Amino acid sequence: MRKAAFWMLMVAVVLAPFAAARPPYRLQAINQFNLVADRGDVRTVSCQYCHVNANGGAPWNAFGNELRANFKGNIGDALYETLKAMKDSDGDGYADVLEVFAGTLPGDANSKPLVSVQFLMQNLEKAGGVDIYKAK
């Protein structure tokens, strides 16, 4: 019995970092923004989508700060409201929603779509507009 308890503790200790590395806000953004889901232990979307540091926490990048400003208790609503505001958080010329639509980083000016704003807007509208990013 003591041996079983020891192994359960060891499993918890080994798995704890993985649990901490997958916070619910990141998973909500992946789901709501139709980003590429994690593949096993490979994290497809890093904490730096919104945070400055790879492990999350303060400080946040420009998009993360917009998200925080829109946060009123529900991360899903905050994600949607932030995109609906049509702001260009990182100042690279593309509104956050267009960057999410194109799969680039809305909080990193070095990451931006290779196609025009007009092209993205037309295709976003065809897909259903910003409402495709409402909380699921």
When the beta carbons of 51 and 112 are compared against Ca ion, the nearer one is: 112
When the beta carbons of 25 and 63 are compared against Ca ion, the nearer one is: 63
111 binds Ca ion (CB under 5 A): yes
CA proximity to 76, closest of 4, 134, 121: 134
d(CA 1, CA 10): 14
88 binds Ca ion (CB under 5 A): no
90 binds Ca ion (CB under 5 A): yes
Among 70, 92, 100, 101, binds Ca ion (CB under 5 A): 92
48 binds Ca ion (CB under 5 A): no
CA proximity to 100, closest of 59, 65, 89: 89
Q: Is the dihedral of CA 34, 50, 45, 10 positive or negative?
A: negative
Where do contacts with Ca ion occur on this chain (CB under 5 A)? 90, 92, 105, 111-112
